[in-house]
Amino acid sequence: MKTLTTTEALASFCKDAAQHPYVTVDTEFLRERTYYSKLCLVQVAFPGQGDENAVLIDPLAEGLSLEPLYELFRDESVVKVFHAARQDLEIFWVEAKVFPKPLFDTQVAAMVCGFGDQAGYETLVRKIVKEGVDKSSRFTDWSRRPLSDAQKNYALADVTHLRTVYEYLAAELEKSGRSHWVTEELQVLTNPATYDIQPQDAWRRIKTRTNSSKFLAVVRELAAFREDYAQTNNVPRNRVFKDDALVELASTKPKTGSDLGGSRLLLREARRGAIAEGILEAVARGVNCPADKMPKPDRSKEKLQVNPALADLLRVLLKSKTESAGVAAKLIAPSSDLDAIAAGQRDVPALSGWRLEVFGADALRLCGGEIGLAAKGQSVRVVEL
């Protein structure tokens, strides 16, 4: 069981790894008390058996630089394999502005190969590798040193079994001709916009019951202040104030510190000091926002005239297509997409890329009256009209 603590040792390992067609990668990190993840451990393996050719990289070791690993990530002759890669990729993008390319995510590939919606790593190891995974160290403080043997074994298992899972899924995709499906799905994971959160856009994630532009102007300023404060001070946004408190503040529009004291949902720490000042300034900016600068609520869904019978038919068609393709229905089209299609919208993910091949093309034909659906035994088939 190798733990790399020097840049030289890491460079030597990465040089060897670059001679292979793929490497498997995972990370251990902490994020409970910070805005940005604190990288505590990186696990990497290239083809081999057991712990052979697998290492733990300690980014907390004094003097160690991860640049040799980032060079391996940039080497497009080596596939970088992750499971549920989003949080890992965010770490590497924030730390070094690098994305591992080419990328393969076994969770995405498993959905395409018929393992259901968001198949977990344990499930894939059990079904493909025919082994169990020890998760006893799942909730551990990875920043503490030294790491125990149990922690190290747990961490290594996340990349050693992943080799077999990857080889199996890659072969299945090759046989089915669906490799390009996975490539399409992964494009969002290697898009910087996925991880670069701009404070002025943070309000779009806040769920509110009111779509008044005046109200949303205050929500926008409060969300922008919270995001900027959280990023600058590297604290979780909910430690500044939570979403429900934000909505309450946007409704009550406090003007003074004593007004903040009347809030039911605001954390005690946020009623004084820099956070309190920031809240009052944000509310004032929102209240005084010119009409032409106020956010415009998305009313497109309010205007949808959904044909309920057609929406039901689309659901039947989707069920038929997903059963024959062996793909999770949620991966192709959520209910909101089906309603949008039934209302005449065409700019939805289900009508583009690989989804168009599997479902979208026939969905459009169904909407156009070119095909119908007929039950035959336990299955549903498409009928030309």
Per-residue pLDDT tens over the stretch 238-276 = 999 999 999 999 999 999 999 999 999 999 999 999 999
pLDDT, greater one: 135 or 102: 102
List the structure tokens of 88: 């890992």
C-beta of residue 37 within 8 angstroms of C-beta of residue 87? yes
**pLDDT at residue number 139:** 79
**pLDDT at residue number 238:** 96
List the structure tokens of 93: 């993008």
Rounded mean pLDDT, 18-22:
98
For residue 180, CA distances in Å to 22, 150, 184, 329, 354 come to 18, 38, 6, 18, 8
Q: How far is CA 47 from the centre of its chain?
A: 27
Of 25-34, 37-46, 373-382, give the lowest mean pLDDT range. 373-382
Rounded mean pLDDT, 275-297:
96
Report d(CA 167, CA 78) in Å as an integer.
14
C-beta of residue 229 within 8 angstroms of C-beta of residue 270? no
The alpha carbon torsion through 66, 68, 70, 73 (nearest 10 deg) reads: -140
C-beta of residue 182 within 8 angstroms of C-beta of residue 173? yes
pLDDT interval class at 117 (50, 70, 90)? confident
Amino acid symbol at 8: E
How many CA atoms, within 13 angstroms, populate the side-chain half-sphere of residue 326? 10
**pLDDT at residue number 331:** 86
**pLDDT at residue number 299:** 64
Report d(CA 113, CA 106) in Å as an integer.
10
C-beta of residue 249 within 8 angstroms of C-beta of residue 276? no
A 10 A CB-CB count for 167 gives: 15
Contacts of 90 (CB under 8 A, 6+ apart): 37, 194, 195
Residue-wise pLDDT tens digits, 297-347: 766 656 678 899 999 999 999 999 998 888 888 889 999 999 999 999 999
- Angle (deg, nearest 10), helices 243-252 and 213-233: 130
**pLDDT at residue number 273:** 96
C-beta of residue 53 within 8 angstroms of C-beta of residue 256? no
Supply the pTM of this predicted model. Answer: 0.89
pLDDT interval class at 378 (50, 70, 90)? confident
Task: Report whether pLDDT(60) > 90.
Answer: yes
Structural domains in the chain plus CATH codes:
2-194 (3.30.420.10), 199-293 (1.10.150.80), 308-384 (1.10.150)
